[in-house]
Amino acid sequence: QVHVVESGGGLVQAGGSLRLSCTASGLLFRDYTLGWFRQAPGKKREGVACINGIGTTTYYTDSVKARFTVDRDNTNNTLYLQMNSLKPEDTAMYYCAVAYYDGDAASVGVLLRRCPEGDFEYWGQGTQVTASS
């Protein structure tokens, strides 16, 4: 059984930083593409950042480029999202999710263009991030 757990959310002032973590168990971690998604009240869930299994290819939504960094530690089955220069519009529930693609080339081919929510099968419960103005 796959189990996904996020941590690291909190309340920070605008301009501050947070580092989210996500652990996933019950699967061969390095074989899976991982993603961070977020949903603000009244808005659709959006893909924030995604990374392929071996950590060589990433995708970022435009609004977080140059501020957020996604990386992974396959030895410890952990995904991270470093968030700098947080803005009030980054306030949302942040979710970690897991997707399987048949081979790294397939994952890279997707991530070079987008991070499709529908491809992600396993989800955590979320961690709240609030950036106050």
Give CA separation, 30 vs 26, 56, 80, 99, in Å. Answer: 12, 12, 14, 11
The DSSP secondary-structure symbol of 62 reads G
* pLDDT for 31: 94
**Structure confidence at residue 34 as a pLDDT band (50, 70, 90):** very high
| 32-41, 71-80, 110-119: least confidently modelled range | 110-119
* pLDDT for 92: 98
* pLDDT for 80: 98
**Structure confidence at residue 20 as a pLDDT band (50, 70, 90):** very high
Contact 21, 8 (CB under 8 A): yes
Q: Is 108 left (phi over 0), alpha (psi -120 to 50) or beta?
A: alpha
Contact 98, 28 (CB under 8 A): no
* pLDDT for 112: 86
* pLDDT for 103: 87
**pLDDT tens sequence across 76-103:** 999 999 999 999 999 999 999 999 998 8
- Residue 113: is its pLDDT beyond 90? no
- Residue 74: is its pLDDT beyond 90? yes
Average pLDDT score over residue span 34-56: 96
- Residue 58: is its pLDDT beyond 90? yes
